[in-house]
Amino acid sequence: MGIIKKIFNKSRSQEDGIFFEEMRKLLGFNPIELSHYRRAFTHRSSNKTDANGSPVNYERLEFLGDAMLGSVIAAHLFNEVPTGDEGYLTKMRSKIVSREHLNELGRDLNLIKWVESKVSTQHFGENIHGNLFEAFIGAIYLDRGFSYCEKFINKKVIAPYVDIPKLEGKVISYKSLVIEWCQKEKKQFHYDVFEDNGNEGVKYFGVRLKIDGKVIAKARATSKKKAEEKASQRAYFAFQEKINKK
């Protein structure tokens, strides 16, 4: 009865009432302490602090949510794939909680609409979506405990997205595959990175991937990491049969 009273008898402003209903729809169950969820959507640019002067934003919740997400996914894989060894389970978990996938989850839930920030959301990087998703998971844990956290992850992540046969064939990093193959075959490789601004008015980086002194692939993107990954993907498809050969 204590929890029910806390949910329904607590006086709320109209703004809190709207936020409560939106969180309830997202969660699939009633939130209790709305402050956890508000923190999950508070960007550090808001410069908020608590009574002790400690920063109030979603960054610490990200850490907590990441741990909760990893543990629930690990338990699911452990139970679903009894023949999988430690390396297999670790690789599969990495695919599920990859930054790319977390960003997809955050976008699908449109979490960015709730962000409180002094910076325009147009200036946020792509990873804001995944960061918010992890923080949201952390807020659920603080508000309702592990069982509700597990329930949410099962419903929003595992049921709609975790297809083990498909994940087995999913490539997280083409760069890692190419480097691993080069090292195995004792081939020399080098990523030649340079600024390539072009005429777009946006800073780009160009990459030339050389294997044994020969340029195998070129690519450009808005970051060195993305450019290297794109060049690696092109190199992977050029050598796919050799790389996949056992």
Known binding residues: 62, 131, 134
Known binding residues for Mg(2+): 62, 131, 134
CA distance 227 to 232: 8
The count of other CB atoms within 10 Å of the CB of residue 150 is: 18
Residues 97/108, Cβ–Cβ less than 8 Å: no
Measuring CA to CA, which residue among 176, 172, 179 is closest to residue 97?
172
Q: Catalytic residue positions?
A: 66, 134
CA atoms within 13 A on the CB side of 66: 12
Helix ranges restricted to H, 81-218: 86-96, 99-108, 128-144, 146-153, 159-161, 164-168, 174-184
Q: What is the largest CA-CA distance in the chain?
A: 72
Residue 139 one-letter amino acid: A
